[in-house]
Amino acid sequence: MQLRIVHDAPESLRAGALVVPVFSDGRLEGAAAAADKAVGGALSDALQSGETKGKLGETALIHAKDLPFRRLLAVGLGERAAFEPFMLARYAGAAVRTLGRNGIEEIAIALPGEAKAATVACGAAIAEGAITGTFEMSIYQAKPEKPLAVNAVAFLRGDLDAKAFEEGVARGTIVGEAVNFARRLAVTPSNDMTPTHLANEATGAAKEAGVAIEVHDADWARKEGMGSFLSVAQGSAQPPKFIVMTYKGDPSSKELLALVGKGITFDTGGISIKPAERMEDMKYDMSGGAAVIAAMCAIGKRKPRINVVGIVPATENMPGGRATKPGDIVKAMNGKTIEVINTDAEGRLILADGLCYANKLGATRIVDAATLTGAVVIALGHAASAVVANDDAFVERFLAAAKPTGERYWRMPLYEDYSDQMKSDIADLKNTGGRAGGTLTAAAFLKAFVGDTPWVHLDVAGTAYLDRGFPWSAKGPTGTPVRAFLALIESLSS
Ligand code: BES
Ligand code: MN
Ligand code: ZN
């Protein structure tokens, strides 16, 4: 999709549709007021009659066939006092989806006056949303059921600062593309998205973004002592891959941020096999890894002053003849032994070695992301990802950076009690701790592999994919936590 910034007056703009913002107070200002005047007050009418209430993402289409813009689309931004820049991503996404479905190819989008207070963030959000709005999961349909026609978007800069707005649009374009890349990797079914294919996708994208990448195989992992990672892979006919992407934007610094993502390309549960219901969703079990790969490529393009390594242990979890069986004991890279009580608690097993490897590379901060537990869906539903951390200052930094992205994170505790639940009678640890506090016992397990490095764990099992869509977004993979990763990196590098 082609994005550009224009400075024309809204009422004289040529486009298939002009998009203007409306808040729930119904007050029309700037471009919205000018457009309303051009259509003879038809937008005011729609607001007064209650046809549109200005709810975030709500749309009202008005035809204006004799005007240079042939249609006027009002998109709601909710309550004026509650406005935040990320809402412009939803605003633009709703516009692209509504108009795109109606076969409109070229659109122009105006911004509210509120954008003046945070021009960079607003430029970023509106570009991000225009791009993420175009994503559809119908990629395997010969003739996609709901093609989105929009292929050119012009942003009406109005009186916003040109440099700040351009900078925002440039950043948002990279974020939006990274989100869609992660979503495409995640939605691709496991017969295509094998660990090998995931590594190939990462390699292609890394080359394009100027990020170094190494793809290691099972023999390498064995030499590194990654018995925990390999114990998950051994039941599968697909060879595992251990993906390492490196970006050095601050060579003089010893600081190194590690992003570690769960890359289970399909989770059957292994010998502790899952029930059939919704097992197809387990193709999404590499969403954390996809987010790491996409974020690494985005930073290759953004070039921030920071050192980042992305680590993705990738494998299937299958019940093959060589599969790990309940009661088996495996050894992770840091020498700790693990009694595998339930082979379906495999995410923590591959992350254990991923986290150890982050430390081996000298990480001074670690963030991991994983569709780790069903329990997080019980705790937080699909409304937020769980955050568990061993360092208050770092987690506060993360939460502050993530907040303006619109992705939601909710911190949960990491009491010693949860670590006690993970003690084994025969080995150092066991991989499950019973039903109580499932998200937190999983985190306590991971904690045993991060050492003293400041660490933030994101459980995105409830947020990485959704089985409903929104006016601004297709159903399916959400790209969470790509936005938060990139926001953290912006924060740490500035
Ligand atoms: N990939 C699943 C977690 C999951 C569940 C993600 C539902 C998305 C939706 C993970 O590997 C898993 O199976 N976890 C088990 C752990 C249990 C055996 C301790 C779970 O949550 O049931
Ligand atoms: Mn599992
Ligand atoms: Zn899993």
Q: Is the pLDDT of residue 124 over 90?
A: yes
Q: How far is the CA of 238 from the centre of ligand 1 (A)?
A: 21
Q: Which amino acid is at 451?
A: G
Q: Which atom of ligand 1 is nearest to the CA of 272?
A: 18
pLDDT in tens, 312-361: 999 999 999 999 999 999 999 999 999 999 999 999 999 999 999 999 99
Beta strand spans in 25-151 (E): 59-63, 71-76, 106-110
Residue at 305 is within a domain: yes
Q: Is the pLDDT of residue 406 over 80?
A: yes
Q: Is the pLDDT of residue 242 over 80?
A: yes
Residue at 188 is within a domain: no
Helix (H) or strand (E) holding 388: strand 385-389
User: SS3 breakdown of the chain: % helix, strand, coil, rounded to 5?
Assistant: 40, 20, 40
Q: Is the pLDDT of residue 421 over 80?
A: yes
Q: Is the pLDDT of residue 146 over 80?
A: no
pLDDT in tens, 4-51: 999 989 888 999 999 999 999 999 999 999 999 999 999 999 999 999
Q: Are residues 48 and 155 in the same domain?
A: yes
Ligand 1 neighbour 386 (Cβ under 6 A): no
Residue at 35 is within a domain: yes
Ligand 1 neighbour 375 (Cβ under 6 A): yes
Q: Which atom of ligand 1 is nearest to the CA of 267?
A: 1
Q: Are residues 343 and 405 in the same domain?
A: yes
Ligand nearest to C-alpha 326: 1
Q: Are residues 166 and 210 in the same domain?
A: no
Q: Are residues 171 and 217 in the same domain?
A: no
Ligand 1 atom 13: residue of nearest CA? 344
Q: Which atom of ligand 1 is nearest to the CA of 347?
A: 11
Residue at 186 is within a domain: no
Q: Which atom of ligand 1 is nearest to the CA of 342?
A: 18
Read off the pLDDT band of 411 (50, 70, 90): very high
Q: Are residues 399 and 443 in the same domain?
A: yes
Ligand 1 neighbour 89 (Cβ under 6 A): no
**Which of 274, 373, 439, 467 is the best mutation target for the ligand 1 pocket, counting ligand atoms within 8 Å of the beta carbon and taking the most?**
373
Ligand 1 neighbour 196 (Cβ under 6 A): no
Q: Are residues 208 and 355 in the same domain?
A: yes
Distances (CA, A) of 186 to 142, 278, 294, 368, 450: 20, 16, 11, 17, 26
Q: Are residues 254 and 392 in the same domain?
A: yes
Residue at 12 is within a domain: yes
Q: Which amino acid is at 310?
A: G
**Arithmetic mean of pLDDT, 246-257:** 98
First to last CA, the chain: 30
CB–CB of 134/1 below 8 Å?
yes
Residue 367, Cβ neighbours under 10 Å: how many? 29
Number of domains in the chain: 2
Q: How far is the CA of 238 from the centre of ligand 2 (A)?
A: 17
Q: Are residues 144 and 281 in the same domain?
A: no
Ligand nearest to C-alpha 372: 1
**Which of 268, 315, 339, 344 is the best mutation target for the ligand 1 pocket, counting ligand atoms within 8 Å of the beta carbon and taking the most?**
344
Q: How far is the CA of 405 from the centre of ligand 3 (A)?
A: 26
Tokens of 157: 């800069």
Provide the mean pLDDT of the chain: 98
Query: Where a domain ends, among 152, 179, 206?
Result: 179
Range of the domain at 79: 2-179
Q: How far is the CA of 376 from the centre of ligand 1 (A)?
A: 9
Q: Is the pLDDT of residue 145 over 90?
A: no
Residue at 229 is within a domain: yes
CA distance 340 to 325: 7
**Arithmetic mean of pLDDT, 80-95:** 98
Residue at 187 is within a domain: no
Q: How far is the CA of 443 from the centre of ligand 2 (A)?
A: 14
Residue 37, Cβ neighbours under 10 Å: how many? 14
Read off the pLDDT band of 136 (50, 70, 90): very high
Q: Would the pTM count as exceeding 0.95? A: yes
Ligand 1 neighbour 316 (Cβ under 6 A): no
Distances (CA, A) of 446 to 288, 379, 430: 15, 19, 11
Q: How far is the CA of 406 from the centre of ligand 2 (A)?
A: 28
Q: How far is the CA of 45 from the centre of ligand 1 (A)?
A: 51
Residue 128, Cβ neighbours under 10 Å: how many? 32
**Which residues are part of the catalytic machinery?**
274, 348
Ligand 1 neighbour 342 (Cβ under 6 A): yes
CATH number for the domain spanning 426: value is 3.40.630.10
Ligand nearest to C-alpha 284: 1
Query: Where a domain ends, among 179, 211, 246?
Result: 179
Q: Are residues 353 and 450 in the same domain?
A: yes
Ligand 1 neighbour 459 (Cβ under 6 A): no
Beta strand spans in 348-422 (E): 365-370, 385-389, 409-411
* Alpha carbon 344 to its chain's center: 24
Q: Which atom of ligand 1 is nearest to the CA of 274?
A: 13
**Arithmetic mean of pLDDT, 211-219:** 99
Query: Where a domain ends, among 118, 146, 179?
Result: 179
Ligand 1 neighbour 374 (Cβ under 6 A): yes
Residue at 185 is within a domain: no
Q: Are residues 93 and 216 in the same domain?
A: no
Q: Are residues 95 and 200 in the same domain?
A: no
Q: Is the pLDDT of residue 147 over 90?
A: no
Q: Are residues 300 and 159 in the same domain?
A: no
CB–CB of 73/133 below 8 Å?
no
CATH number for the domain spanning 45: value is 3.40.220.10
CB–CB of 11/38 below 8 Å?
yes
